[in-house]
Amino acid sequence: MATKKMNKKTESVAVPSVTCAEMQQGIIDRLHKGLATDKNKANNKAWWNATCLAVNELVFEKLTKTHHNHAGKDTRAVNYLSLEFLMGRLLSNNLQNLQVFKVTEEALKGLGKDLYELCDEEPDMALGNGGLGRLAACFIDSLATLGYPAIGYGIHYEHGLFKQEFQDGRQIERPDTWREYGNPWEICRPESIQLIPLYGYVETLYDPTEGAKKIWHAGQKLKGVPWDIPIVGYGAKTVNILRLWESRASEAFDWDVFNAGGYVDSQAEKSRAETVSKVLYPNDSTDAGKELRLIQQYFFCACSVKDILRRFKRANSDWNELPKKVAIQLNDTHPTMAIPELMRILIDLEGLDWDFAWDICQKTFAYTNHTLLPEALEKWSVGLFEKVLPRHLEIIYEINAQFLKNVVEKKWPGDDQKKAKLSIIEESDNRMVRMANLCVITAYKVNGVAAVHSELVKTDLFPEFHELFPTKLVNVTNGVTPRRWLKTCNPGLATLLDETIGDDWVLNLDKLKGILPKATDSKFQQRFMDIKKQNKVEMAKIIKETTGVEVSVDAIFDVQIKRLHEYKRQQLNLIHILTLYKRLLENPDYDMVPRVFLFGAKAAPGYHMAKEIIFALNKIADKVNNDTRIKDKLKVVFLPNYRVSLAEKMFPAADISEQISTAGLEASGTGNMKFSLNGALTVGTMDGANIEMAEEIGEQHMFIFGLSVDEVKDLKTKGYKPYDYYYNNPELKSVLDWLDSDFFTPGHPGLLSDIKRSLLEWGDEYLCLADYASYLEAHQKIDALYRDQAAWAEKAILNAGAMGKFNSDRSIEDYASKIWKLKKFPIA
Ligand code: GLS
């Protein structure tokens, strides 16, 4: 497709890089020449595919230009290593970032096609579990938008996060097949394949001059095949890449065995090797603890480190240059194996001495901690390590020995307790390798993801490390990309913003402040609320199509969407719903603004309580939605298969955002930011980024409730007694007792009892009962405020207008200045 020069301004005033006629021709050409079909035969999938291929023609040119510019200038770059990139769909986002959305919409309309319908054909790229993976996706968008040289490294999972279905209210997992019929966005790069050793043994050779030399004789080799996804920055000046590794057998199959008639055996190695990149582990914040997971992590790290060094060596021969050219960011502990792998390559293969190699590593790696939950701190058994990665275990032992001797012993001489706590090796019956300790010892910077979280990392998680390395632990508050999470997902609001404050808020979210003076302007309020209403209408259609439930758009849409975890307290929301339901049954005239409670959440397949909460909510929904006595004042909808593309429709339609984790447990949250950006009001605890949001918005414009981090700690120290709350609050007691009956599961009493047990007998670890009364009060205030639509609109506008800080461009600028010392190389 011939393209015009891209105008610098954003779309509403920009000349798009293609005309409508060129875009039409491009799509028709791709139908003919790329897909061997034509406009009469093609179905929507083919039209979507052809549109993506036409978009690629605009992208590839910029990709090559970016590559030449960065490689030619040998720029310092950040390598973002993450086992998860929760990308979602790319077509609408790429069109927006290329600033050709409207022209493409028009082009397709002329061809009798609806762009929005075609966008819905795209399977989500669900290569992540939740917030951590989505953050990585927002970050690579910002890196490209800001013109930073960067590459994302991840795994090319054959199956992303499972598809969720409900059967009689229970979660059923089905495989996700996002690339069953190919994926137009990815480019295979066989020229950059890597071979990755595993298993085997280590031989020590003694050389009289050079001393001991280690040789790892691997028992197996995997082939790592890279697939590149272009990442288009907004304005399309920079196009970086996300490089995803697929595992294959190093020999496709054994010909001798095949010729001897053993076809099945010859395939065995192939399928074993392919297993490594077959599935994303569906655990969020827990340790999968499997051999395959360790191999997956190592495979990914080894491919990425080798690729980084290959790129470095193209222009450099002095190893002193490595930390100047290369920053490696470890997204949580999942990519920790990159540390011993870099040490191994530098020492065993490149012949550097230990101290030089260690110095390079300490200047190259930085690590982000994303959670304080103890079960999420990865540990691998020493035995497993010895079997799979014998040489890396030796290296880790040596790093540990030197750290304990040179650092810990010097600071706390003779203190064995300190050594035991800080050691990379946990001494127990089953000795374990602590990945977080290895990260903190090596990294030159360690960051938490919101102010309170970063403080807790210093005071509670790693206090001794903080004493040892007082400048190492820093904070970088998370953010979300306004391109996807406002401009693309909420076109109505985006247009209102363009008209009110100009269209450059997309690149400078602080400009949103410009709407604050409009918060009391009744015309602006009306337009703002009309857009919300329209988004609710769209959402109501989706609800009706997927669940058959009819909801009124005059009701408050009260939304909780996030992974299902007890610390996120969907069960607290559940007992609030039951409280309202009971009040309505006892008094059908109970005065409340109608509410629609919306949920979206996947539970880790092995997490019993999380699955019980999903089941309970579905059973409660069945009952509530069919109970004519309550006159439609209450509806409960659990939408199946929560994913990025569904989230894009839910955030813009929400009135209330539920951010109700136990204080101190949600590291940051990012959904909280997306809701406010789209004009929802938050009911939340003083946890994670909610605290910083309250600073920006003003606490009085949110519904803050519950115990603070310190109060949680105090209560736990004193000894928390959930039964006290149960016996002292008759309404709470009756609601919990209800769960033991068969009211929600006719003929089967007790099916929901585990929820009650977890809140009483099992100790209510997440303090739901302690926060119940104040949560109810917050909801009472929500109900009162909604009756005054002008007052509600005012607060909604004040929320959206205060979101400038929670922009992933700001997060990336913080990383670039505080951690990576990275310079921009915008492409002219
Ligand atoms: C998480 C945290 O739980 C979230 O609070 C945080 O917003 C996210 C990104 O930093 O990381 N940690 C994790 O293991 N999964 C997450 O979503």
Distance (Å) of CA 635 to CA 390, 543, 628: 57, 11, 11
Q: Would the CB of 602 count as within 6 Å of ligand 1?
A: no
Mean pLDDT (whole number) for 280-303:
85
Residue 9 CA, ligand 1 centroid: distance in Å: 34
Position 4 scores a pLDDT of: 47
Position 263 scores a pLDDT of: 66
Residue 101 has pLDDT above 80, yes or no: yes
Position 11 scores a pLDDT of: 38
Residue 613 CA, ligand 1 centroid: distance in Å: 21
Task: Report pLDDT digits (tens) over 159-206.
Answer: 999 999 999 999 999 999 999 989 999 999 999 999 999 999 999 999
Position 73 scores a pLDDT of: 86
- Check residue 695 and give left, alpha or beta (phi > 0: left; psi -120 to 50: alpha): alpha
Position 551 scores a pLDDT of: 98
Q: Would the CB of 137 count as within 6 Å of ligand 1?
A: no
Of 553, 531, 644, 662, the C-alpha closest to 598 is 553
Q: Would the CB of 687 count as within 6 Å of ligand 1?
A: no
Q: Would the CB of 808 count as within 6 Å of ligand 1?
A: no
Q: Which of 251-260, 519-528, 621-630 has the lowest mean pLDDT?
A: 251-260
d(CA 154, CA 186): 13
| DSSP code per residue over 534-601 | HHHHHHHHHHHHHH-----TTSEEEEEES---GGGTHHHHHHHHHHHHHHHHH-TT-----EEEEEE-
Task: Report pLDDT digits (tens) over 422-478.
Answer: 999 999 999 999 999 999 999 999 999 999 999 999 999 999 999 999 999 999 999
Q: Would the CB of 130 count as within 6 Å of ligand 1?
A: yes
Q: Which of 59-68, 249-258, 545-554, 797-806 has the lowest mean pLDDT?
A: 249-258
What sections of 594-643 are H helices per DSSP? 608-625
Share of the chain above pLDDT 90, in %: 90
Nearest-CA residue for atom 17 of ligand 1: 131
Residue 130 CA, ligand 1 centroid: distance in Å: 7
6 pLDDT tier (thresholds 50, 70, 90) = very low
Bridge partners for 432 per DSSP:
381, 426
Q: Which atom of ligand 1 has the smallest separation from the CA of 688?
A: 5
Q: Would the CB of 371 count as within 6 Å of ligand 1?
A: yes
Position 7 scores a pLDDT of: 40
497-805 belongs to which homologous superfamily? Glycogen Phosphorylase B; (3.40.50.2000)
Task: Report pLDDT digits (tens) over 624-662.
Answer: 999 999 999 999 999 999 999 999 999 999 999 999 999
Q: Would the CB of 663 count as within 6 Å of ligand 1?
A: no
Share of the chain above pLDDT 70, in %: 95
d(CA 409, CA 699): 47
Residue 12 has pLDDT above 80, yes or no: no
Nearest-CA residue for atom 11 of ligand 1: 132
Task: Report pLDDT digits (tens) over 720-729.
Answer: 999 999 999 9
Residue 669 CA, ligand 1 centroid: distance in Å: 6
* Secondary structure of residue 120 in the 3-state scheme: coil
Q: Which atom of ligand 1 has the smallest separation from the CA of 670?
A: 7
108 pLDDT tier (thresholds 50, 70, 90) = very high
719 pLDDT tier (thresholds 50, 70, 90) = very high
Q: Which of 161, 565, 642, 668 to mutate to test the pocket of ligand 1 (most atoms within 8 A of CB)?
A: 668
Mean pLDDT (whole number) for 346-365:
98
Residue 141 CA, ligand 1 centroid: distance in Å: 18
Q: Would the CB of 688 count as within 6 Å of ligand 1?
A: yes
| Amino acid type, 250 | S
Q: Which atom of ligand 1 has the smallest separation from the CA of 135?
A: 9
Residue 411 CA, ligand 1 centroid: distance in Å: 33
Which two structure tokens, joined as six digits, stand for 617?
Answer: 């909510």
Distance (Å) of CA 706 to CA 158, 233, 490, 549, 562: 42, 40, 31, 32, 20
Q: Which atom of ligand 1 has the smallest separation from the CA of 666?
A: 5
Angle at 302 between CA 299 and CA 303, to 5 degrees: 85
Position 257 scores a pLDDT of: 61
Position 71 scores a pLDDT of: 87
Q: Would the CB of 376 count as within 6 Å of ligand 1?
A: yes
Residues with catalytic function = 370, 562-563, 568, 670, 674
Q: Which atom of ligand 1 has the smallest separation from the CA of 371?
A: 12
Q: Which of 83, 331, 371, 642 to mutate to test the pocket of ligand 1 (most atoms within 8 A of CB)?
A: 371
Residue 706 CA, ligand 1 centroid: distance in Å: 21
Q: What is the CA radius of gyration of the chain?
A: 27
Q: Is the Cβ–Cβ distance between 647 and 484 less than 8 Å?
A: no
74-89+124-161+190-276+288-478+813-820 belongs to which homologous superfamily? Glycogen Phosphorylase B; (3.40.50.2000)
Which two structure tokens, joined as six digits, stand for 594?
Answer: 């109608």
| Amino acid type, 575 | I
Task: Report pLDDT digits (tens) over 146-170.
Answer: 999 999 999 999 999 999 999 999 9
Residue 140 has pLDDT above 80, yes or no: yes
Q: Would the CB of 487 count as within 6 Å of ligand 1?
A: no
d(CA 33, CA 602): 41
Position 585 scores a pLDDT of: 98
Residue 380 CA, ligand 1 centroid: distance in Å: 21
Position 445 scores a pLDDT of: 98
Mean pLDDT (whole number) for 664-691:
98
Of 693, 673, 284, the C-alpha closest to 479 is 673
Residue 296 has pLDDT above 60, yes or no: yes
Residue 132 CA, ligand 1 centroid: distance in Å: 5
Q: Which atom of ligand 1 has the smallest separation from the CA of 368?
A: 10
Nearest-CA residue for atom 14 of ligand 1: 285
- For the question of an ipTM over 0.95, the answer is yes
Position 5 scores a pLDDT of: 43
Q: Would the CB of 447 count as within 6 Å of ligand 1?
A: no
Which two structure tokens, joined as six digits, stand for 727?
Answer: 């016996």
Nearest-CA residue for atom 9 of ligand 1: 132
Q: Would the CB of 86 count as within 6 Å of ligand 1?
A: no
Q: Do the domains 74-89+124-161+190-276+288-478+813-820 and 497-805 sit in the same CATH topology, yes or no?
A: yes
Residue 148 CA, ligand 1 centroid: distance in Å: 24
Distance (Å) of CA 405 to CA 399, 430, 467: 10, 24, 16
Q: Which of 260-274, 318-332, 414-428, 507-521 has the lowest mean pLDDT?
A: 260-274
Position 29 scores a pLDDT of: 97
376 pLDDT tier (thresholds 50, 70, 90) = confident
Q: Would the CB of 63 count as within 6 Å of ligand 1?
A: no
Q: What is the mean pLDDT of the chain?
A: 95
What sections of 423-521 are H helices per DSSP? 435-442, 451-456, 463-468, 482, 491-501
- The structural domains of the chain, with segments of one domain joined by +, span 74-89+124-161+190-276+288-478+813-820, 497-805
Residue 812 CA, ligand 1 centroid: distance in Å: 17
Our measurement of the distance from residue 515's CA atom to the centroid of its chain's CA atoms, rounded to an integer in Å, reads 29
Mean pLDDT (whole number) for 784-802:
98
Q: Would the CB of 226 count as within 6 Å of ligand 1?
A: no
Q: Which of 449, 644, 814 to mutate to test the pocket of ligand 1 (most atoms within 8 A of CB)?
A: 449
Q: Would the CB of 296 count as within 6 Å of ligand 1?
A: no
Does pTM top 0.90 for this prediction?
A: yes
